[in-house]
Structure 1
Amino acid sequence: MWAVAGGGAILVDGAVAATTLLVPSESVLLLGVDLPLPTRAKRLAALPFAVEDRIADPIDAVHLALGDAVGERRYLVAVVRHGVMAEWLAIAEAAGIGTAAFLPDALVLPVPVEGWSVEVAGGRALVRVADGTGFALPLAMLVPAWEAAGRPKVQASGDPLPHAMAGDGVAFPAETLADRIAAAPIDLRQGGYARRRTAWPSTTRKVAMILGAAALAHGVIAVADTLMLQRIAERRHDALQQLVATTAPSVPTGGDDFMVRVADLLPRPTGTNRFVPLLSRVAGALNPIGPVLVVRTMTFEGNALTIECESPETGMADRVRAALATAGVVAQVVAAPGGGVRIVARGA
């Protein structure tokens, strides 16, 4: 088992048989999504419409991975930017593990019966939630997040929990790391990022690269690709119309507003399950700022996450504002006297 660290991949446990690359959960949005459809193919077809109002990025800018069921007709879904996936693929190739599965590291923790599973190490906290999702955040944000979530019960491992949570922690149940990796609920290597089952010989790969470069020089390929994408889009649209006609026969399948009617069919997230995804996005955005930002309080009401924090460094409000904007998080950031910073982030 390997992990992304310092811009590369490091071996963290050679005893785990499966080749898996643990990727930082700060860069992955993990959601529980209601997909009341009978087959995986139909769930995949509906997935973009089910999550597009829960993410900040355009749907074409992200990779969606569908995982195991985490409830009755409810599934684990991972959302990752394409640029991040490309970076992790390059890291895996450079380490000689190009066929490795990609697993968000928070999902290595066991799913608690209730509350949170928490692992603290290296100034960050991994959290697995009872609904099967998970997230990572700087250790400084752990207690405020836990309080904002209603002080859920915690089972913990790794470094000691912060003092405010210490009395609530219990040990993880006995389960080997290999067993937890084997039971991983999702692999990000899906669709265009699917793992290659066999590797080409080096010579064959070089020849293929040369031939591919020569072929790309011909403009006819671009035309063919455009036509192919149009046909794929038409087939997907036809398949979606057939799916709606089968599962919701009362819904018209024609007209320019067909996609709007499809979106209206999908379940909408409630306020109670918006907290963790929004927290995950904010924590991931603020992670590079690190320990110089001290979180004092955190509250969640409606679809707004309010964080009161402070820092001894000047210009922190501008840094926070820039970090959130880069991550696509809709937020208001206001500087207060004495180094205080107030963040109000809103979900979709």
Structure 2
Amino acid sequence: MRDWPATILVPTGQVRLLAVDLPLPSHARRVAALPFAIEDRIAEPVDSVHIALGEQIAPGRYLVGIVRHDVMARWVVQAEEAGIGHAAMVPDVLTLPRPAEGWAVSQSGGRAAVRDADGTGFEVPAPLLRPAWEAADRPGVISYGEPLPDDMQKGSAALDAAAFGPAAGAAVAALNLRQGAYAVRKVAGSSLWRKFAWVAAIGAAAHVVIAFGDVIMLRSIADRREAETRAAALVAAPGVALGDDLANSITGLLPTGGGQVPQLFLPLVNRVSGALGPLSGALTVRAMTFEGRLLTLDLDASPDIGLQGQIESALKGAGVGAQVVRSPEGAIRITASAA
């Protein structure tokens, strides 16, 4: 049996995955340039996040993972307490097959994750999958989880548990978050780790679950720079045809300073979707629009009179500035700000 690396899978919803252009000749120079290359693409201050450099996914373009320092430090402590502090640490979406084109989607447990053909990824509550898919110009989808609507799903496939070891190895090669200040200092000598590919998923309940060949793979939505720009333009100006020359197509659509708009859209969606995750089973998103710095979600009417308060509490707890308004008919509108 081939040895696969001890691997901890961390939730993609806590990791920002980007495709970053770094046409530099050495690894050291690419690492040094990373903060400057991503600072205008994230909402947080650069010094508040851990930035990890992954594999080259296209000529001069690299996969990059971004995690808040407090989150990364917590994961490392949890791993050490579980006796697997030597393990590699990767976003769980990277264990999904990378599609040749379009999206690889796996939806289960009220969460939807998508891996893009460029290798990046993102995760949202299931109710936000369709709006995100439409905002990304309806890419072809191969489903690895629950069946999706016919107009979304191009095909389906099953995840083979026997292939999980190779998938974990490929994920580690793509992006290991244990770099820099969080690099592994010691390598455990237990033969147990040399015999099996143990894969752990760190959950929101602050515990580590270890399994072999029976781990539910979570997934995400791609957000490379062009996709961010196209998605923001499509939701801000629905119905407007965008040509192959994307820059010229959207020049007249974005407001003054609009170069920042595509860099705000997906980060804000990520924050909002993460906050609403526990409520995803009670939410049905009818429409999603983005204009300026405001993301608006219109939800179908719900008989639950307490839902508005739950949404407000969830967003406030996640530090998301938002207004939640309920119509007399019971429909709910969420207006979140990227400020």
Out of 265, 278, 291, the residue aligned to residue 288 of structure 1 is 278
Q: Contact 1:20 / 1:102 at 8 angstroms: preserved in 2? A: yes
The residue aligned with 2:332 is 341
Deviations 1:130-180 (A, max 9, x none): 2211011222221222122221100111222245524x2333798922222
Structure 1 equivalent of residue 31 of structure 2: 44
Q: Who wins on radius of gyration, i.e. which is larger?
A: 1
Distance 1:316 1:50 in 2: 40
Counterpart contact for 2:54–2:62, Cα < 8 Å: yes
Give the alignment of 1:97-112 within 5 angstroms. Answer: 97-112=84-99
* Identical-residue share of aligned pairs (%): 51
TM-score (norm 2): 0.68
Give the partner amino acid of 1:160: P
Structure number with higher helix proportion: 1
Q: 56, 59, 78: which one pairs with 1:72?
A: 59
Compared CA separation, residues 300 and 112, structure 1 to 2 (3 A): farther
Rate the CA distance shift 1:318–1:61 in 2: closer, same or farther, 3 A: farther
Distance 1:317 1:79, change over 3 A: farther
2:49–2:66 CA contact under 8 A, matched in 1: yes
Output the CA distance in 1 between the equivalents of 2:315 and 2:269: 12
Structure 2: where are the runs of 5+ without partners? 190-257
What is the CA distance between 1:319 and its match in structure 2? 4.5
What is the distance in 2 between the residues matched to 1:303 and 1:171?
38
The one-letter code sitting in structure 1 at the alignment partner of 2:281 is P
Aligned residues: 267
Match of 1:118 among 105, 111, 118: 105
Shift of 1:190: 0.7
Residue identity in the other structure for 1:335: V
- Whether 1:170 aligns to 2:156 is yes
- TM-score computed with the length of structure 1 as normaliser: 0.66
SS in 1 for 2:123: strand
- 1:282 is matched by which residue type in structure 2? V
Structure 1 unaligned spans of 5+: 1-13, 201-267
Aligned residue number for residue 90 of structure 1: 77
* Residues 1:63 and 2:50 are matched in the alignment: yes
Match of 1:180 among 143, 164, 167: 167
Is residue 128 of structure 1 aligned with residue 115 of structure 2? yes
Cα distance in 2 for partners of 1:63, 1:136 equals: 19
Q: Which shows bigger deviation, 15-24 or 48-57?
A: 15-24
Deviations along 1:44-64, whole A, 9 cap, x unmatched? 111112222222222221111
Task: Write the distance in 2 (CA, Å) between the matches of 1:128 and 1:16.
Answer: 26
Higher relative CO (Cα under 8 Å, sequence separation at least 6) belongs to 2
Q: Is the 8 A contact 2:322 2:335 kept in 1?
A: yes
Q: In the TM superposition, what is the alpha-carbon distance from 1:35 to its structure 2 partner?
A: 1.7
Matches within 5 A, 1:276-315: 276-300=266-290, 305-310=295-300, 311-314=302-305
